[in-house]
Amino acid sequence: MRYWTLLWVSLISAWAIAQSEIRFDSATVAYNQGNYEKAIAHYQAILEEGKHSAALYYNLGNCYYKRNQIAPSIYYYEKALLLAPNDAEIKNNLVYAQNMTLDAITPLPETTLSRFYKQVTGIMPFDGWAYLGVVFVVLFVLAYILFYYFRYSTHKRIAFISSLIAIALAVISILIAFVEYQDFKADDPAIIFAQEITVKTEPNDRSDVAFVLHEGTKVNVMDAFDNWKKIQLSDGQVGWLPDDALRLLKDF
C-alpha cells in the first residue's frame, strides 16, 4: 500500500513539474511574439501553483517593463534579486526600470567599512553561508580524523593546521549567516504601487503631509497600525501611508 502511495505521489509531482515547464515554455513563446499579456498570465499561473524562482520573477519583470508598467516591473526585478542577489542581468534591467521612476532619492552615505561588509556578505544569501559553514565543519572533522590516523609528524602537523583553519572558517561562515539572517528579518522592503501617494506624519488622514511618493519607489516597512504602514526611505525620511499603496517584496 505504501509503495503505491509513494508511486502515486511521485507521478503527481512529475505531472505538476511537467505542467509548470509547459507553461514556462508557452510564456517564453508568447514573450518572444510580443504577447506580453499572455506571457504574464502563464507566469502568474506558475506562481499560483507555489513555484518560485529568480528566472520566473525576472521574466515577469521583463514583461511588465515592455508594457511600461513601472511598479510591477521593479517589483518583480527586486523579487528576482532577492533570490539571486549577484545576478548582473537582473541588476542591469532593474536599473533601467528604476530610471522610469519620478522620485529622486539620494541614499544616506555609507562608510568604507559598511560597503566592505555588504560586499562580503552579499556574495551569497544567508542560507548559502550556513551551508558553507556546514561544509567547513565536515572538513574539520575529516582533518581531525586524518590527524588521528597519520603516523608521520609532518602529516599530523598539516592535518592539525587544516582542521584549525576549517573550524575557523566554519565559525566565520555561520556568524555571517546569523548576522545576514538578522538583517534579512529586520529589512522589510516594499514597492509603491499607487501612481501617486501622500505620505503622512501619523497613521491617519488628518495628520500633516510628510512627503509625496510615486509608483516604483522602494521603501522599507518599519511598523504597521490598522490599515497603515510606517515606511522609511533610503535617505532616512519616515512617514505613514495606507497599506494598499504598496506591495511587500518578501511575500513569497
Domain boundaries of the chain, sorted by first residue: 2-98, 112-186, 189-248
Higher pLDDT, 5 or 100: 100
Average pLDDT over residues 117-133: 86
pLDDT at res. 176:
93
Homologous superfamily of the 2-98 domain (CATH)? Tetratricopeptide repeat domain (1.25.40.10)
Task: Tell me, letter by letter, the H, E, C secondary structure of the chain.
Answer: CHHHHHHHHHHHHHHHHHHHHHHHHHHHHHHHCCCHHHHHHHHHHHHHCCCCCHHHHHHHHHHHHHCCCHHHHHHHHHHHHHHCCCCHHHHHHHHHHHCCCCCCCCCCCCCHHHHHHHHHHCCCCHHHHHHHHHHHHHHHHHHHHHHHHCCCHHHHHHHHHHHHHHHHHHHHHHHHHHHHHHHHHHCCEEEECCCEEEEECCCCCCCCEEEEEECCCEEEEEEEECCEEEEECCCCCEEEEEHHHEEECCCC
Read off the pLDDT of residues 167-206 as tens digits, 9 standing for 90 and up: 999 999 999 999 889 888 889 999 999 999 999 999 999 9
Q: Is there a shared CATH topology between the 2-98 domain and the 189-248 domain?
A: no
Grid cell at residue 162? 587544516
Compute the distance between CA of residue 23 and CA of residue 41 in angstroms, rounded to an integer: 9
pLDDT at res. 2:
52
pLDDT at res. 183:
85
Compute the distance between CA of residue 86 and CA of residue 180 in angstroms, rounded to an integer: 15
* Model pTM score: 0.79
**Average confidence score pLDDT of the chain:** 89
Homologous superfamily of the 189-248 domain (CATH)? SH3 Domains (2.30.30.40)
Q: Is the pLDDT score of 252 beyond 80?
A: no
Share of the chain above pLDDT 70, in %: 92
Q: Is the pLDDT score of 59 beyond 90?
A: yes
Q: Is the pLDDT score of 9 beyond 70?
A: no
Say how many C-beta atoms besides its own lie within 10 A of residue 166's C-beta: 20
